[in-house]
């Protein structure tokens, strides 16, 4: 990813299909942080403990992870438009049902259906934007990450505003917004004949991970995403703020994600190289997590907001690296990469409450997440050194042939 793609070029002259998909992506990503401000309210209203409430993240992500493996085959068989509409339709039904749930078990199950819809939509949306956007793959990825950042920032804010009235409000509001996205997505261009679409087998996303660079990028992203969801799922329990306060904290965090992902990531990649910039960003994230592990509540608030800068960089850099790491078709590479990426988040969201209990320290999950980031940095550095060693060897072979 280079810095020569101007920000204006990312948004200028894009086809209607790109804007429709990007809008739907904003709403879909809003769902990730939507429950943050209302987690304490849900726990109180449904008489649930922290380890039960964090299952709202893990059930959502776990189903999404498994479903990522079939999105490529589904899209190849039925087309990108039908896949997007199927995903959005499931999200509308799930969010509406969440607003009517009566127990934490029902809510967790419905979040799983929500995750299924998101899996069909997210992986397909990336390939649609990359395939249709003007300005090439770099501009498309920046546009996608802008949608991610806007969704992550506005999700907690919407959750806070509606959740201040009732914990059911954010779910009902999301159902309305997703219904609008569904109606707009009906206007997406029709898919070409099935014969023109490359056949994709069910396990192709896993086969794509045999490529070393893609596998290394995907595993590194999994460790980072685990740390990402520790911040997202556990911070409300550490801060113990009301819905509005938590929503404002994560709104600031989300703004940092959006700005860093669109404006800073290309410059960092141009200055340090894509892998080098990723290593620096993940190390910065580890430092901030270390601060969260030992800091007071005001310090944790500042660290959470600043961590959005590192997250914005990492989201864009990891996605760009994954999309260019192998020769696999974009939907296949995207599905394999997202499988690993969200698997890290699902595991973290499931275990985060137990980690605090096992280690007997409320902020212990942040320390564990910092270690995961250090592992990710080590993995990327090892791959970078291996690539650097292979370049002279390949050059020597070429010289001998000449």
Could you report the per-residue pLDDT of 364-379, keeping only the tens digit for each?
999 999 999 999 999 8
Contacts of 214 (CB under 8 A, 6+ apart): 208, 322, 325, 326, 328, 333, 336, 337
Residue 389 has what pLDDT? 58
pLDDT in tens, 266-308: 899 999 988 889 999 999 999 999 999 999 999 999 999 999 9
Tell me what the mean pLDDT of segment 237-255 comes to.
Answer: 89
Residue 46, C-beta contacts closer than 8 angstroms, at least 6 positions apart: 103, 104, 107
Average pLDDT over residues 55-73: 83
Q: Are 184 and 20 in contact (CB under 8 A)?
A: yes
Could you give the percent of the chain with pLDDT greater than 70? Answer: 86
Residue 399's pLDDT is 41
User: Which of 60, 187, 39 has the alpha carbon at shortest distance from 122?
Assistant: 60
Tell me, rounded to whole angstroms, the distance of Cα 305 from its chain centroid. 17
* Average pLDDT of span 74-101: 89
Q: SS3 of 197, please?
A: coil
What is the sign of the dihedral through the CA atoms of 175, 307, 228 and 211?
A: positive
Q: Identify the CATH number of the domain in which residue 221 sits.
A: 1.20.1250.20
What's the pLDDT at 230?
A: 94
pLDDT over 50 at 392, yes or no: no
Q: At 258, is the pLDDT very low, low, confident or very high (cuts 50, 70, 90)? A: confident
401, part of any domain: no
- Residue 284, pLDDT score: 97
The Cα 292–Cα 298 span in angstroms is 10
Confidence (pLDDT) at 195 = 47
Q: In this model, does residue 401 exceed pLDDT 80? A: no
pLDDT (mean) for 61-87: 83
Residue 225 within any structural domain of the chain: yes
Residue 398 lies in a domain: no
pLDDT of residue 71: 75
Of 185 and 335, the one with more pLDDT: 185
**Number of neighbouring beta carbons within 10 Å of residue 4:** 9
pLDDT tens-digit series, residues 304-354: 999 999 999 998 898 878 877 777 777 677 778 888 988 998 899 889 888
Say yes or no to pLDDT of 122 above 60. Answer: yes
Average the pLDDT over 5-33 and give the result: 74
For 319-359, the DSSP string reads: HHHHHHHSSS-HHHHHHHHHHHHHHHHHHHHHHHHHHHHHH
Mean pLDDT of the region 97-112: 94
274 in a domain, yes or no?
yes
Mean pLDDT of the chain: 83
**What pLDDT was estimated at residue 209?**
87
Owning domain of residue 219: 7-190+200-391
Q: Evaluate whether residue 399 is within a structural domain.
A: no
Q: How many domains does the chain have?
A: 1
Lowest mean pLDDT across 13-27, 60-74, 387-401: 387-401
Structural domain contains residue 384: yes
- The answer as to whether 195 is a domain residue is no
Looking at the whole model, is its pTM more than 0.95? no
| 1 part of a folded domain | no
State the average pLDDT over residues 113-136: 78
């Amino acid at each position: 990813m280079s810095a020569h793609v101007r920000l204006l070029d990312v948004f200028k002259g894009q086809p209607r299909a790109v804007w429709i998909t990007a809008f739907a992506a904003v709403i879909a990503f809003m769902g990730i942080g939507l429950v943050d401000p209302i987690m304490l309210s849900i726990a109180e209203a449904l008489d649930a403990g922290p380890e039960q409430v964090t299952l709202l993240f893990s059930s959502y992500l776990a189903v999404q992870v498994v479903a990522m493996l079939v999105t490529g085959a589904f899209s190849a068989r039925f087309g990108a438009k039908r896949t997007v509409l199927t995903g959005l339709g499931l999200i509308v039904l799930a969010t509406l049902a969440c607003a009517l749930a009566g127990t934490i078990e029902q809510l967790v199950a419905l979040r799983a259906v929500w995750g299924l819809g998101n899996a069909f939509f997210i992986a397909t949306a990336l390939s649609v934007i990359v395939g249709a956007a003007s300005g090439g793959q770099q501009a498309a990825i920046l546009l996608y990450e802008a949608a991610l950042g806007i969704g992550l920032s506005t999700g907690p804010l919407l959750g806070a505003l509606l959740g201040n009235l009732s914990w059911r409000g954010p779910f009902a509001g999301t159902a309305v917004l997703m219904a609008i996205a569904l109606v707009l997505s009906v206007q997406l261009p029709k898919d070409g004949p099935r014969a023109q679409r490359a056949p994709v087998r069910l396990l192709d996303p896993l086969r794509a991970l045999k490529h070393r660079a893609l596998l290394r990028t995907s595993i590194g992203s999994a460790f980072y995403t685990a740390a990402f969801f520790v911040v997202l799922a556990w911070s409300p329990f550490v801060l113990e703020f009301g819905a509005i306060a938590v929503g404002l904290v994560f709104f600031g965090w989300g703004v940092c994600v959006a700005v860093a992902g669109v404006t800073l990531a290309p410059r960092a990649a141009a200055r340090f190289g894509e892998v080098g910039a990723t290593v620096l960003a993940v190390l910065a994230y580890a430092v901030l997590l270390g601060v969260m592990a030992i800091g007071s509540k005001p310090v944790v608030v500042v660290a959470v907001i600043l961590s959005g800068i590192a997250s914005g960089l990492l989201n864009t850099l990891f996605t760009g690296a994954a999309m260019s790491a192998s020769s696999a078709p974009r939907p296949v590479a995207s599905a394999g990469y997202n499988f690993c990426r969200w698997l890290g988040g699902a595991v973290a969201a499931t275990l985060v409450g137990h980690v605090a209990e096992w280690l007997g320290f409320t902020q212990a999950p942040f320390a564990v997440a910092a270690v995961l980031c250090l592992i990710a940095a080590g993995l990327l550095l090892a791959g970078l050194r291996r690539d650097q060693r292979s370049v002279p060897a390949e050059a020597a072979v070429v010289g001998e042939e000449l």
